[in-house]
Structure 1
Amino acid sequence: MRLGTRTRKVVLVGHIVSVSAWIGIDLALGVLVLTATITADTATAATAFQAAHLIAVWPMLTASLLSLATGVTLALGTKYGLIRYWWVAVKLAINLAMTTLIYLSLRPGLYAAAEHGRRLAAGDPATQPPEQLIYPIFVAPSLLLAAVVLSVFKPWGRTSRRGDTAQPRRYLRRRRAI
């Protein structure tokens, strides 16, 4: 099934917008976590931890699922296929891994951060700030940037030439001429 030109462009715009939103939410999360971690003011740290929980989990999960849905639609509706090219397969793996980690790892970590923020706001400075949030704010934007670079440069070629039933049109024309 091939997407028509207009439909492909609409899906592509949706894909670009969802990935851009995901990157923006990731960067905002990074700013909030770094602010909460670095500041000496407990009120600022409490607010930043609570805001990180509010803005990150569900909007980020929504953006990642939209990116996944539009990416799979583009892959299946164009010549690239879902696992026909290495760069598409790697982008799919990055998206699936990151979407899973948002739900299974980041969500509980941000919940703990929000709880820490609530305790700080209540005047309990003895609570320990969550340390597991430093790692995702550097890794996630790096992986998303890698996915964007893969989209632009399309490296590595095809995953396999064996079993590929879609032959180039040039080959078919040459065969008919013989």
Structure 2
Amino acid sequence: MSTPTTRTTHPHQAGRPRRTGTRLPPQWRKALRAAHVTVSIGLLGSDAAVLTLVSAGRLGSNPVTVYPAAHLIGQLLLLPLAVLALATGVALGLLTPWGLLRYWWVAISLAITAGGTALATFVLVPGLGSAASAALARHPVADATGLVRDSGAACCVLIATIALSYAKPFGTVRRKPRRAERPAPSTL
């Protein structure tokens, strides 16, 4: 069963057929986009707060104060916001004309967001937890520079996804033609 198509006047797809079965009404699309932007800004802010704290710890601030606070922000804000940013981004891709893999900027943003969420889950927040435990036990923090590097890289990656979403570079992803659209093999 094929998905119904309509002609569209979308600036990036003028005159091309587009699937209409998965589109949201404009008010819901705007609400989902607003939620995604809000969550993404919150994610950048929470990561900037973690970067500020781990930088202060690296520069000599009281580790007992800095690292538990950074871990708390990482657990209670950064991780949930990363998951929400990924979820709302996927929903936008699936439920709007942009698609998940139709445009390079969306595909790259999806890959970056998924990778960043995984790194936050399995590297940054556990590292913050180890640093907080070490600081509370009055032991030296094992990799203070690594925490600054990881959190700083996360901030840069989030800023890159913002730039991608704003500039929308690279055009569409070209796919192989469907079987019915492929040219017949030549018989020489």
TM superposition score category, shorter chain reference: 0.7 to 0.9
The question of whether the paired residues in 2 share the 8 Å contact of 1:46 and 1:117 is answered with yes
Contact 2:135 2:141 survives alignment (8 Å): no
Structure 1 partner of 2:41 = 20
More displaced 10-residue stretch of structure 1: 99-108 or 84-93: 99-108
Q: CA RMSD in A?
A: 1.5
Q: How far did residue 55 of structure 1 move?
A: 1.1
Preserved CA contact (<8 Å) 2:131 2:141: no
Higher normalized contact order (CA 8 Å, seq sep 6+, divided by chain length)? 1
How many Å apart are 1:144 and its aligned residue? 0.3
Percent identity among equivalent residues? 35
SS at match of 2:43: helix
Aligned-partner SS, 1:160 = coil
Among residues 34, 50, 69, which one is paired with 2:55 in the alignment? 34
Alignment partners' CA distance in 2, 1:157 and 1:66:
26
Distance 1:38 1:73, change over 3 A: same
Which string of whole-angstrom CA distances, capped at 9 and with x for unpartnered residues, describes residues 46-72 of structure 1? 100111111113321110111111111
Q: Which runs of 5+ in 1 are unaligned?
A: 165-178
**What's the counterpart of residue 106 of structure 1?**
124
What residue is the counterpart of 2:165 in the other structure?
151
Cross-structure match for 1:141: 155
More helix per residue: 1
- How many residue pairs end up in the alignment? 156
Structure 1 counterpart of 2:19: none
Superposed CA deviations along residues 125-158 of structure 1, whole A, max 9, x for unmatched, are xx34423212112110110000000001100001
SS where residue 80 of structure 1 aligns?
Answer: coil
* TM-score for both structures, normalised by structure 1: 0.82
Whole-Å separation in 2 of the counterparts to 1:117 and 1:25: 21
Structure-2-length-normalised TM-score: 0.78
Partner of 2:30: 9
